[in-house]
Amino acid sequence: MDLTFSDEQRLLADGVGRFLDTQRDFQARQAQLAAGTTLSPKVWQHLADQGLLALPRAESAGGMGGTIADVVAVAMRFGASLLTEPYLATVILSGAALEAAGTDEAHALLADIASGTAVVSFAHEEDVSGAPASQIGTTAVADGDAYVLNGTKALVLGAAEAHQIVVSARCDSDIALFLVDVTANGVGIDAFRTIDGRGAGRVHLDDVRLPARTLLVPHAEGVLDEIVADAVIYLAAETVGAMDTLLRMTGSYAMTRQQFGVPIGSFQTIAHRLADMKIAVTKAQASLLYVTALREAGRAGPADISLLKAQTGRLGRSVAESAVQTHGGVGMTDELAVGHLLKRILANDALFGDAELHLRLLGAPSRV
């Protein structure tokens, strides 16, 4: 058994980490967001140049053949650096759907994703986060050699920046995946930004008429389960990266911030909170690494995925809230990364079912 990252994985992660630390540190990120940009062409191009936009794709699909452990190694850096670019939507979610489709057209779009020229978002969940695919309400009705889609997807990451959207819809008794051009008639996108700085939008599909060739995956429930499992691991890795950063920032703040003439870290209340933060980070890291290894070995079941989502969600929230409290007033400001790391952790918790949902799934007799 080996739960460490390989030298290659460390090199990959250190490379992108160094780029983000130097070319897009927290100040640069905030300046970019203030200028209204959630997708920096410079950052996106760097990810493309490093092969990261095709990292998890099979070599047969023009990808790097990376494993989930490769993705996790990189995603921890993304979380620590509060990446705003639509990596999850385009690479982890849509890329996997396109690879599952396997058509020439899908492969061509994957090539455009890999080169950084195409941004694709993924519209699956509707107004209930973590609901099974069987609850999808968006419909696709065959009409001659076309399909007509109707429905609303409440929170679609990357929708603000995307050229195309992978959409899940109920089609007869199945759930199917379609590729929708954002300029198609009947597609409406209310663009917004999520609390953690990502571009997103509410996608309305109003009698959107699609040619048959846009049907990517006709029987998609199994594919969706796999895609969501990878997305959960990706989000967990981002959260653990953010948690680790918060622990280090808070530890050093507690040793430098003086009140009553001494560092606040010398007070037992603060010291014990730091200890609890380290315990939480260690648990989350351990579960991330082990579930990643399980997934890589093809042995991660729904309970393992729920466990990881629940633990990173609740432990992440606990660490981030402790970090804000320990930083005091300054932790409340927009100027410090602490609050933004909290927001990233909260956002990651809310996507694909929050900690409370997954805890209940773990405890329910039918699921485990």
Partner 1 sequence: MNLDQDPALEAFRTEVAEFLDTAPTDAIREAGRKTTSVFAPFDEVMAWHRILAKKGWAAPGWPVEYGGTGWSVEQRYVYAEEYSKRDLPPLLPNGLQMIGPLLMHLGTDEQKARHLPGILAGDDYWTQGYSEPNSGSDLASLACSAVADGDDYVINGSKIWTTYAHHANRMFMLVRTSTEGKKQAGITFLLLERLDLPGLEIRPIIGLDGVPEQCEVFFRDVRVPQSGRVGAENDGWAVAKALLVHERSGGVASPSLRRKVEAIREAAGRQRTAFGGVLADDPVFQRDLGLIEAEIGSIEHIEKLAISRHPIAADVAFPSMTKVMGTELTQALSVLMTRVAGQRGLPVQTAALEVGSAVPPLDDDLSLVAMPYYLNSRATTIYAGTNEIQRDLIARTIAR
The binding site for partner 1 (CB under 8 A) comprises 1-6, 69, 247, 251-252, 254-255, 263, 265, 268, 271-272, 274-279, 282-287, 289-294, 296-297, 299, 303-304, 306-307, 310-311, 356, 358-365, 368
C-beta closer to partner 1: residue 209 or 299: 299
In whole angstroms, what is the distance from residue 148 CA to residue 138 CA?
10
In whole angstroms, what is the distance from residue 199 CA to residue 158 CA?
5
C-beta closer to partner 1: residue 4 or 259: 4
The two tokens of residue 254 are 């507690």
**CB-count exposure of residue 193 (10 Å: 0-12, 13-18, 19+):** middle
Q: Are strands 164-171 and 120-123 parallel, antiparallel or unpaired?
A: parallel
C-beta closer to partner 1: residue 240 or 337: 240
CB of 70 to partner 1, least distance (A): 10
Answer yes or no: are the C-beta atoms of 84 and 197 closer than 8 Å. yes
In whole angstroms, what is the distance from residue 75 CA to residue 56 CA?
12
Residue pointed to by tokens 């918060």: 246
C-beta closer to partner 1: residue 108 or 271: 271
CB of 8 to partner 1, least distance (A): 12
C-beta closer to partner 1: residue 26 or 267: 267
Ramachandran bin of 102, using left for φ above 0, alpha for ψ from -120 to 50, beta for the remaining angles: left
CB of 290 to partner 1, least distance (A): 4
The strand pairing partners of 167, in sequence order, are 123, 178
C-beta closer to partner 1: residue 76 or 162: 76
C-beta closer to partner 1: residue 3 or 212: 3
CB of 315 to partner 1, least distance (A): 8
CB of 278 to partner 1, least distance (A): 5
CB of 130 to partner 1, least distance (A): 13
CB within 8 Å of 272: residues ≥ 6 apart: none
Q: Are strands 139-143 and 174-181 parallel, antiparallel or unpaired?
A: unpaired
In whole angstroms, what is the distance from residue 177 CA to residue 149 CA?
11
In whole angstroms, what is the distance from residue 163 CA to residue 184 CA?
11
Q: What is the number of alpha carbons within 13 Å of residue 97 lying toward its C-beta?
A: 33
C-beta closer to partner 1: residue 170 or 327: 327
Answer yes or no: are the C-beta atoms of 217 and 174 closer than 8 Å. no
CB of 279 to partner 1, least distance (A): 5
CB of 7 to partner 1, least distance (A): 13
